[in-house]
Amino acid sequence: MVTFEVTTADSGSRARRGRLTTSHGAVETPAFFPVGTQATVKSLDPTDLAALGVQGILCNSYHLVLRPGSSTVRELGGLHRFMGFPGTIITDSGGFQVMSLSELAKIQEMGVRFRSHLDGAALELPPESALDHQRDLGSDIRMVLDECTPYPSSRGYARESMERTLRWAARSAHARREGDAAVFGIVQGSTYSDLRAESARRTVEIGFDGYAVGGVSVGETKALLYDMVEASTAELPVDRPRYVMGVGSPGDLVECVARGADIFDCVMPTRNARNGTAFVRGGKLSLRNAAHRADPGPIDPECGCSTCDRFSRAYVRHLLQANEILGAKLMTIHNLYHYMELMRRIRDALSRGKFGEFRRSFVEATA
Alpha-carbon Rg for the chain, nearest whole angstrom, is: 20
Q: What's the confidence (pLDDT) of residue 142?
A: 98
Closest CA to 276 of 263, 265, 285, 266: 285
Q: What's the confidence (pLDDT) of residue 22?
A: 97
Q: CB under 8 Å to 144, separation ≥6 — which residues?
A: 93, 95, 127, 130, 131, 165, 168, 169, 172, 173, 183, 184, 185, 186, 208
The string of pLDDT tens digits covering residues 98-157 is 889 989 999 999 999 999 999 999 999 999 999 999 999 999 999 999 999 999 999 999
Q: What's the confidence (pLDDT) of residue 223?
A: 98
User: 3-class SS at 84?
Assistant: coil
Q: What's the confidence (pLDDT) of residue 95?
A: 87
Q: Which CATH number fits domain 3-266: 3.20.20.10, 3.40.50.12160, 3.20.20.105, 3.40.50.300?
A: 3.20.20.105
Task: Annotate 69-91 with b (16+ C-beta within 10 A) or e (fewer).
Answer: ebeebbeeebbbebbebebbbbb
CA pair distance 161, 271, nearest whole angstrom: 29
Q: What's the confidence (pLDDT) of residue 189?
A: 98
Q: Judge whether 86 and 54 are in contact, CB under 8 Å.
A: no
Q: Judge whether 291 and 317 are in contact, CB under 8 Å.
A: no
Q: Judge whether 337 and 299 are in contact, CB under 8 Å.
A: no
Q: Is the pTM of this model over 0.75?
A: yes
Task: Please list the ranges in the chain whose pLDDT falls under 70.
Answer: none
Domain boundaries, the chain: 3-266, 275-367
Closest CA to 145 of 123, 122, 115, 167: 167
CA pair distance 176, 161, nearest whole angstrom: 23
The string of pLDDT tens digits covering residues 69-85 is 999 999 999 999 999 99
Indicate which residues carry an active-site annotation.
92, 265
CA pair distance 161, 192, nearest whole angstrom: 12
Q: Judge whether 43 and 274 are in contact, CB under 8 Å.
A: yes
Residue 163 host element (H or E) = helix 155-174
Q: Judge whether 186 and 91 are in contact, CB under 8 Å.
A: no
